[in-house]
Structure 1
Amino acid sequence: MKGSPRQRPLSIAGLTRFSTSKESTAMAYAYVVGQITIKDETKWARYRDQVPATIAPWDAEIVFRGKQAAVLAGANPHPDIVVIRFPSMRAADEWHASSQYQALIPLRQEAADVVLTAYEA
């Protein structure tokens, strides 16, 4: 359509949205993706319940939590996932390095095997 902004697909953790070329010049979001295998449900619940307070100072939000429904290609040993959106990669790095989140890491390690990765989009 003439006059409409050009769009390009963005895919994050299997979700696709379209951004305009104007958006692509703006600062990118950062997404922290946790792939999770729970070892202790009680400890995991304690950890999970404390995370939102640690991300709030960085204006981050939990986009979704979910359970793996199917592996469509390759192998993924972790049945659970969480995706957290931060306003920037710097905010994600600062959150992860914060004393509030660092204090939760021992509980997380007891509760689950977690692979945390960060993406810009």
Structure 2
Amino acid sequence: MTCYAIGHLRTVEMGPEIVAYLKGIDATLAPFDGRFIIHGGGKHHFEGTFAGDLIIIEFPDLRQAQGWYASPAYRAILPLRTENAEGEVFLIEGVGTDHKATDILSSAP
């Protein structure tokens, strides 16, 4: 099942460290078949507010996503981001192409 690395970065101090992180991240994704599907971009609000930037990286599955985050190559550049940006980062698994909204009811308490 497809897995996504989600980043909601509320603040980013643009500087040499973030530039180095951006220049290095693509090479860390390649061995795990990761690819950006959202990386900032314009927001068109319908409801509420959303401060910061949204980043979504797609991986073929949870194992690949976990492997990327734990990889020595990514760990080497990670401090460039964590020391210059604030926000949340997590992995979340996607749903199949046949998923319906009511499918979540079978796991509800």
Q: TM-score, normalised on structure 2?
A: 0.74
CA distance in 2, matches of 1:116, 1:99: 18
Aligned equivalent of 2:103: none
Q: Which runs of 5+ in 2 are unaligned?
A: 95-109
Residue identity (%): 29
Query: Which structure is higher in RCO with an 8 Å CA cutoff and minimum separation 6?
Result: 2
**CA deviation map 1:24-46 (0-9, x unaligned):** xxxx1000011112023332122
Q: RMSD of aligned C-alpha atoms?
A: 1.8
**CA deviation map 1:54-109 (0-9, x unaligned):** 01001111112124634723x644x1121100000010001100000011121112
Q: List structure 1 segments (4+ residues) > 3 angstroms apart after TM superposition.
A: none
Count of residues paired in the alignment: 92
- Which protein has the larger Cα radius of gyration, Structure 1 or Structure 2? 1
Q: TM-score, normalised on structure 1?
A: 0.67
Instruction: Check whether the contact 1:40–1:110 (CA below 8 A) recurs between aligned residues.
Output: no
Higher helix content, 1 or 2: 2
Higher strand content, 1 or 2: 1
Q: Which runs of 5+ in 1 are unaligned?
A: 1-27
